[in-house]
Amino acid sequence: MTTVTSAERRAAWVAVATGAFVALAVVLEVIAGARANSPNPAWAEIVVPLAWPRLARVAWWLTVAGAMAAFHHSLHRLGLGQRRPLVIASVAPFLVFAAGVATGQSWAAFH
Pick the closest to residue 65 from 85, 84, 87 (CA basis): 87
Is the pLDDT confidence value at 110 over 60?
A: no
Distance CA(104)–CA(51), nearest Å, equals 14
Q: What is the pLDDT of residues 17-37, one digit of tens each?
A: 999 999 999 888 888 877 777
Amino acid at 86: L
Q: At what angle do helices 54-77 and 84-102 cross, to 10 degrees?
A: 170
The proportion of the chain whose per-residue pLDDT surpasses 70, expressed as a percent, equals 95
Q: What is the pLDDT of residues 92-109, one digit of tens each?
A: 999 998 999 899 888 886
Sign of the C-alpha dihedral, residues 53, 56, 58, 61?
Answer: negative
Distance CA(7)–CA(71), nearest Å, equals 15
50 SS3 class: helix
Asked whether the whole model's pTM tops 0.85, one would answer no
Would you call 25 exposed, middle or buried from its count of C-beta atoms within 10 A (0-12, 13-18, 19+)? Answer: buried
Residue 14: pLDDT band with limits 50, 70, 90: very high
Radius of gyration of the chain (CA): 16
pLDDT (0 to 100) of residue 35: 73
Pick the closest to residue 55 from 103, 107, 111 (CA basis): 103
